[in-house]
Amino acid sequence: MAPAAALAHEETGQAAGFLAGLSHPVSGLDHVLAMVAVGLWGAVLGPPAIWVLPVAFPLVMALGGLMGLLGIPVPGVEIGIAVSAIVLGAMVLAEARPSLWIAAAIVAFFAIFHGHAHGRELPEGTSALLYSLGFVVATGLLHAVGILLGGAHRWAVGRRAVRVAGGGVAAAGLFFLWRAIA
């Protein structure tokens, strides 16, 4: 009968931004496999690498995203992403145990490519901060999946399964590389 003016309003783009960021990393198999491989390799390497890699990766990946957003070019991004799957998968397959600094450097190097390619694809009308947060959280959760799966490494059968998974990631990386070059 006597309605007052509606002063409330919708907060647009908040949930959409977070969900878009959360779903973006899992929409690309190349990114998914490489992230899981980081976790698997961390589990194979054991402490402290098992947590150093997942702590370092998001930071360096964000640095790659920042480079992309600032327009700093990184040559061969798609090739870099494919090679990351090959190298990380091969490390798991071979149960390679380099020193922590070398392992961290390898992971950080490839994180630049992943961040550069994926960190700057903001859907229109969404919150940039929540999109970024969702993107980083999803990537971290993929690492966690790799670490959990890599936990099977302590048993003989599980160890073989982890190595096979690493081989699978490397093989998929070869396919991505072929697709990126062709």
Partner 1 sequence: MATAAFRGMVALFALVAAPAHAHLVETGFGAFYDGIAHVAVTPADLLVVVALALLAGQCGTQAARYALFALPVAWLVGGAVGARWLSAAALPLLTTLSFAIAGSLVALNARIRDVGVAALAIAAGLLHGLVNGATMVPGGSAGLALGGAVCAIFFLMAILAAEVTALPAGWPRIVVRVAGSWIAASGLLMFGWLVRAAG
Smallest Cα–Cα separation from 34: which of 153, 177, 166, 163?
Answer: 166
Task: Tell me the Cα Rg of the chain.
Answer: 19
65 binds partner 1 (CB under 8 A): yes
Query: Cis (ω within 30 of 0) for the bond into 75?
Result: no
Region 22-61 residues binding partner 1, contact defined as CB under 8 A: 51, 54-56, 58-59, 61
Both tokens of residue 171?
A: 């093989």
Give the number of C-alpha atoms closer than 13 A to the C-alpha of residue 22, restricted to the C-beta side.
8
- Which listed range, 37-45, 89-97, 122-130, 171-179, lies at the site for partner 1 (CB under 8 A)? 122-130
Q: Residue 130 interacts with partner 1 (CB under 8 A)?
A: yes
**Is position 142 an interface residue for partner 1 (rule: CB under 8 A)?**
no
Min. distance of Cβ 57 from partner 1 in angstroms? 8
For residue 33, the one-letter residue type is: L
Residues at the interface with partner 1 (CB under 8 A):
7-9, 11, 14, 51, 54-56, 58-59, 61-63, 65-66, 68-71, 119-120, 122, 127-130, 132-133, 135-137, 140
